[in-house]
Amino acid sequence: MKLLVTGGAGFIGSNFIHYWFKKYPDDQIINLDSLTYAGHLSSLKDLENNPNYKFIKGDIADLSIVDEAMNGVDIVINFAAETHVDRSIIDPTVFIKTNCLGTGVLLHAALKNNVKRFHHISTDEVYGQLKKDDPPFNESSEFAPRSPYAASKAGAEHLVLAYFITYGLPITITNCADNYGPYHDPEKLIPRFITNLLQDKKVPLMGQGENIREWLYVLDHCSAIDLILKKGKVGEKYLIAGTELANIDVTRKILKLLNKDESYIQYVPHRLGHDFRYAIDDSKIRALGFKSEVEFDQGLSQTIEWYKQNEWWWKILKQDRPNTDRTAQKSYQALPNVIMALHAENWNKIVYPITGKTFVAIVDIRPESETFAKVETFEFDARNHQALFIAKGLANSICVNGDKGVHYIYLVDDYYDGSDTKAVAFDDPDLNISWPVKNPILSERDKNNPKLRDLYPEKFS
Ligand code: NAD
Q: What confidence tens digit (pLDDT) does each residue in 118-145 have?
A: 999 999 999 999 999 999 999 999 999 9
- Atom of ligand 1 at shortest distance to CA of 39? 9
CATH classification of the domain holding 362:
2.60.120.10
Any ligand 1 atom below 6 A from CB of 186: no
125 given a catalytic annotation: yes
What pLDDT sits at residue 152?
98
Burial annotation 120-131 (CB, 10 A radius, 16+ → b, else e): bbbbbbbbbbbe
Residues 221 and 352 in one domain: no
Any ligand 1 atom below 6 A from CB of 126: no
Q: For residue 196, tell me if it sits in a domain.
A: no
* Cβ neighbours for 118, distance < 8 A, ≥ 6 positions apart: 75, 76, 78, 106, 107, 110, 160, 163, 169, 170, 171, 172
Q: Report the 10 Å Cβ neighbour count for 272.
A: 16
Any ligand 1 atom below 6 A from CB of 214: no
- Ligand 1 pocket, mutate which of 43, 66, 79 (most atoms under 8 A from CB): 79
- Whose CA is closest to atom 21 on ligand 1? 33
Q: For residue 268, tell me if it sits in a domain.
A: no
61 touches 105 (CB < 8 A): yes
pLDDT above 90 (res 421): no
Residues 379 and 290 in one domain: no
Instruction: Quote the ligand 1 centre to 158 CA distance (angstroms).
Output: 18
14 touches 8 (CB < 8 A): yes
Instruction: Quote the ligand 1 centre to 359 CA distance (angstroms).
Output: 38
d(CA 139, CA 158): 14
Rounded to two decimals, the pTM is: 0.85
65: which strand partners?
none
What pLDDT sits at residue 145?
97
CATH classification of the domain holding 219:
3.40.50.720
What value does the CA radius of gyration of the chain take, rounded to a whole number of Å? 25
* Cβ neighbours for 352, distance < 8 A, ≥ 6 positions apart: 90, 387, 388, 408, 409, 410, 411
Residue among 33, 124, 157, 214 flagged as catalytic:
124
What pLDDT sits at residue 401?
85
Residues 281 and 347 in one domain: no
Q: Assign 419 a pLDDT band (cuts: 50, 70, 90).
A: confident
364 touches 372 (CB < 8 A): yes
Mean pLDDT along residues 367-381: 94
- Whose CA is closest to atom 14 on ligand 1? 81
Q: Quick: pLDDT tens for 380-418.
A: 888 888 888 999 899 999 899 888 888 888 888 776 666
Q: Assign 77 a pLDDT band (cuts: 50, 70, 90).
A: very high
Q: For residue 35, tell me if it sits in a domain.
A: yes
Mean pLDDT along residues 85-102: 92
Instruction: Quote the ligand 1 centre to 6 CA distance (angstroms).
Output: 9
Instruction: Quote the ligand 1 centre to 249 CA distance (angstroms).
Output: 26
- Atom of ligand 1 at shortest distance to CA of 125? 43
Residues 282 and 359 in one domain: no
- Ligand 1 pocket, mutate which of 36, 62, 124, 125 (most atoms under 8 A from CB): 36
Residues 290 and 345 in one domain: no
Mean pLDDT check: name the lowest of 101-110, 201-210, 326-335.
326-335
What pLDDT sits at residue 87?
85
- Atom of ligand 1 at shortest distance to CA of 60? 19
Any ligand 1 atom below 6 A from CB of 10: yes
Instruction: Quote the ligand 1 centre to 36 CA distance (angstroms).
Output: 10
Any ligand 1 atom below 6 A from CB of 98: yes
What pLDDT sits at residue 326?
66
Mean pLDDT along residues 82-90: 88
Residues 39 and 140 in one domain: yes
Mean pLDDT along residues 94-112: 98
Any ligand 1 atom below 6 A from CB of 127: no
Residue among 33, 125, 275, 282 flagged as catalytic:
125
Residues 43 and 143 in one domain: yes
Q: For residue 54, tell me if it sits in a domain.
A: yes
Residues above pLDDT 70, as percent of the chain: 98
Q: For residue 301, tell me if it sits in a domain.
A: no
Three-state secondary structure of 104-141: HHHHHHHHHCCCCEEEEEEEHHHHCCCCCCCCCECCCC
Any ligand 1 atom below 6 A from CB of 224: no
Any ligand 1 atom below 6 A from CB of 13: yes
Any ligand 1 atom below 6 A from CB of 123: yes
Any ligand 1 atom below 6 A from CB of 242: no
d(CA 185, CA 39): 9
Residues 288 and 338 in one domain: no
Residues 121 and 235 in one domain: yes
Three-state secondary structure of the chain: CEEEEECCCCHHHHHHHHHHHHHCCCCEEEEEECCCCCCCHHHHHHHCCCCCEEEEECCCCCHHHHHHHCCCCCEEEECCCCCCHHHHHHCHHHHHHHHHHHHHHHHHHHHHCCCCEEEEEEEHHHHCCCCCCCCCECCCCCCCCCCHHHHHHHHHHHHHHHHHHHHCCCEEEEEECEEECCCCCCCCHHHHHHHHHHCCCCEEEECCCCCEEEEEEHHHHHHHHHHHHHHCCCCCEEEECCEEEEHHHHHHHHHHHCCCCHHHEEEECCCCCCCCECCECCHHHHHCCCCCCCCHHHHHHHHHHHHHHCHHHHHHHHHCCCCCCCCEEEEEEECCCEEEEEEECCCCEEEEEEECEEEEEEEECCCCCCCCCCEEEEEEEHHHCCCEEECCCEEEEEEECCCCCEEEEEEECCCCCCCCCEEECCCCCCCCCCCCCCCCECCHHHHCCCCHHHHCHHHHC
Q: Domain range holding 37?
A: 2-179+213-243+276-294
- Ligand 1 pocket, mutate which of 43, 59, 83, 216 (most atoms under 8 A from CB): 83
187 given a catalytic annotation: no
Instruction: Quote the ligand 1 centre to 149 CA distance (angstroms).
Output: 11
Average pLDDT, the chain: 94
Q: For residue 264, tell me if it sits in a domain.
A: no
Residues 290 and 360 in one domain: no
124 given a catalytic annotation: yes
Q: Quick: pLDDT tens for 253-298.
A: 999 999 999 999 999 888 888 999 999 999 999 999 999 999 999 9
- Atom of ligand 1 at shortest distance to CA of 97? 18
Q: For residue 257, tell me if it sits in a domain.
A: no
pLDDT above 80 (res 320): no
d(CA 362, CA 378): 8
Residues 238 and 94 in one domain: yes
Instruction: Quote the ligand 1 centre to 272 CA distance (angstroms).
Output: 21
392 touches 346 (CB < 8 A): yes
Q: For residue 414, tell me if it sits in a domain.
A: yes
Q: How many domains does the chain have?
A: 2
CA distances from residue 118 to 204, 219, 284, 446, 451 in whole angstroms, order as listed: 38, 20, 20, 58, 65
Instruction: Quote the ligand 1 centre to 424 CA distance (angstroms).
Output: 46
Residues 121 and 171 in one domain: yes
Q: Report the 10 Å Cβ neighbour count for 140.
A: 8
Query: How many CA atoms does the CB half-sphere of 297 hold within 13 Å?
Result: 4
Any ligand 1 atom below 6 A from CB of 185: yes
